[in-house]
Chains A and B, each alone.
Chain A
Amino acid sequence: MFASHLDKKAQTATPDLIPSRNGYGEGLLEAGKRDKRVVALSADLTESTRTLPFAEAFPERFVQVGIAEQNMAGVASGMATMGKIPFMASYAMFSPGRNWEQIRTTIAYNNSNVKIIGAHAGISVGPDGATHQAIEDLAIMRVIPNMVVIAPCDVHEARKAVLLAAKYDGPVYIRVGRSETPVITTPESPFAIGQAEVFYTKNPDLSQSVGIITTGVLAYNALMAAVELEKNNIGAGVLHIATIKPLDGEALGAFASNHDILITVEEHQVAGGLGSAVAEYLGEHMPKKIIRLGIHDMFGQSGEPNELLAHYGLDVSSIVAAARRALTP
């Protein structure tokens, strides 16, 4: 059963499609209107990261650093030290990909109030190919002390994450995607940093059940897989973990105890991302069989987003097949 707060079209085969990065643009502009301490930095990707509306509305609070992500991290940290709330955006491959040490030392160790937006994350960036497909960003950000890590599922969550990050005092990483992906939530759906949400509750009448745990824009595939499994008399639930750090252990534990096996689904290496975070927590608290779907120690390639998701086993039928395999004795 779908959570009541989800967008009705997200419960069908024809959801609205909007890139989650648009939520950054909307949230940033709104945060900028609410609080004049908000400033934005861009490394020559102002339009595609959706920083442009803010830059046009508040040119005096916009810093174009050029193609220089390492400097951008330092400049943002310096601005935060002076009381600003800087949002720095680039493609995730370059920030936090290229400037990881600057983020780690100058922002996180310095406990600097900087918000880092990694756009075009995941393989769904598509035709640009492996050089531009950040599938390691959650891992490298998750291991940094002081850093909050959020992968919103759609445009609305991305907007809310940005607004909450502006109010949160400390470094935050927000991962958003390039391609048009299903709108799952509504502006009214609940969202809080550090809070996981059950998007789909299993049918209690079915004897076996699989718990699908997802993060980022693949939540829709998880939902459709759950529907498909239930059609085949396999119970299924979906837990969406937008905040990978700090992990909502309570919600995860409750969800895990309610299902026979778990499947994690993410557009990321299976090492270090959501699957790892879930396995680490449950390994310590309630050991359980976990199937991790994601990229298995390889690089991406060019292709349309849907072709790539199918190839790497992250489309609806792959999730369904993985669940069936796991439940087969």
Chain B
Amino acid sequence: MHYITSADVTRLELKANEIRQSIIEMLYEAKSGHTAGPLDMADIFTLLYFEVLRHDATNPNWEDRDRVILSNGHICPVLYATLAYAGYFPVEELMTLRKFGSRLQGHPHRESLPGLETTSGPLGSGLSQAVGMALAERIDNPYSTKYFYCLTGDGELNEGQIWESLMLAGKEKLNNLIMIVDRNGIQIDGDTQDVMPLEPLAEKFESFNFDVQEVDGHNIRAMNDAIGKAQAVYSQPSVIIAHTIASKGVDVFERDFRWHGNPPGKGPEDRVPRSEQEKIALQKLRTLAGTISTDDL
């Protein structure tokens, strides 16, 4: 178990806030892309790359690194922003997201950018790849303490391929596999409970022989503890169902499925007009949703 202090938590929260601001700017500049998932996963990505992972931004292909496999590739703005802040490439490059000639493809392409472990976008494929990586590692190194963190969406769990790979992970008792589900409750067409109900989700994973934890995905200390516990599970793969608030950090976007696939400037207008969406979002983030005055910044 890796312990963190209150000062660590504050440091990570501030970093996550910085990453969220970049996500808003990148998406606004790109004029397309996904907003809700990247914003709500910023805390978890920050915790992973700035606290939990064994990795080296100056040596992205370091063999002994832990692996982060992003299965729901459409939330890549948060991965790109986190990688940039972690030193994998210049932060300025973030503004090239989705543009012609950019290394920051609309969905991640492994060979394009340092730090990417896989190519993903079509949903359900990342977990299979994570299972393959974890299996390969076990063949070479049965006592390895390298971990394979696979991040998936919750809507993504509709895909049949997910359950194929869950079966295999359970069968093979892949204790080096830690799956983290972004349980934000939304997908493109609506709330997950309306489009395709997932509950009882924890019981589903348990029945596939996973160790299951349910955690507040914005509570950095709780997430850190959950990851530590997942690392300590023997003879089972682990899943952490991270309960998150879609579009977390920008209260006027939060919990609204219409922010799944739209960037600021093109989102629903009932709470903020499109012309104001980027400006308001950045203001909300910089003032922590109005709890601090901009004069203090």
Interface residues in chain A, defined as those with a beta carbon under 8 Å from any beta carbon in chain B: 39, 60-61, 63, 65-66, 68, 70-84, 86, 101-102, 105-106, 109-111
Partner of A106, one of B128, B131, B135, B164: B128
Contact B136 A83 (CB under 8 A): yes
Answer whether residue B110 sits at the interface, using C-beta atoms and an 8 A cutoff: yes
Contact B128 A82 (CB under 8 A): no
B110-144 interface code vs A (CB 8 A; 1 in, 0 out): 11000001111110111111111111110110000
Contact B135 A79 (CB under 8 A): yes
Name the B residues within 8 Å of A81 (CB-CB).
110, 117-118, 129, 132-133, 136
Partner of B119, one of A70, A75, A83, A105: A105
Name the A residues within 8 Å of B171 (CB-CB).
66
Contacts A39-B139, A63-B135, A105-B125: A71 and B118 contacting too (C-beta < 8 A)? no
B131: nearest chain-A partner, CB-CB: A75
**Nearest CB of A to B237, in Å:** 13
**Nearest CB of A to B221, in Å:** 31
Answer whether residue B109 sits at the interface, using C-beta atoms and an 8 A cutoff: yes
Interface CB pairs A-B, < 8 A, 16: A65-B168, A70-B128, A71-B167, A75-B129, A75-B132, A77-B132, A78-B129, A79-B135, A80-B132, A81-B129, A82-B132, A82-B133, A102-B122, A106-B118, A106-B120, A111-B111
Answer whether residue B161 sits at the interface, using C-beta atoms and an 8 A cutoff: yes
**Nearest CB of A to B258, in Å:** 27
Contact A101 B122 (CB under 8 A): yes
Give complex CA distance A65, B167 in Å.
9
B161-186 interface code vs A (CB 8 A; 1 in, 0 out): 10011011001000000000000000
Interface residues in chain B, defined as those with a beta carbon under 8 Å from any beta carbon in chain A: 69, 109-111, 117-122, 124-137, 139-140, 160-161, 164-165, 167-168, 171
Contact B119 A109 (CB under 8 A): yes
Contacts A68-B167, A70-B161, A74-B161: A102 and B128 contacting too (C-beta < 8 A)? yes
Residue with the greatest number of chain A CB neighbours at <10 A, chosen from B133, B134, B136, B168: B136
Partner of A74, one of B117, B129, B140: B129
A63: nearest chain-B partner, CB-CB: B135
Interface contacts beyond A74-B127, A74-B129, A75-B168: sample of 11 additional A-B pairs, CB < 8 Å, sorted by A: A70-B164, A71-B131, A71-B164, A74-B132, A79-B135, A81-B118, A82-B133, A86-B132, A102-B128, A102-B161, A105-B120
Name the B residues within 8 Å of A86 (CB-CB).
132
**Nearest CB of A to B174, in Å:** 11
Name the B residues within 8 Å of A65 (CB-CB).
164, 168
Contact A71 B109 (CB under 8 A): no
Contact B164 A78 (CB under 8 A): no
Contact B168 A78 (CB under 8 A): no
B132: nearest chain-A partner, CB-CB: A78
Give complex CA distance A70, B123 in Å.
12
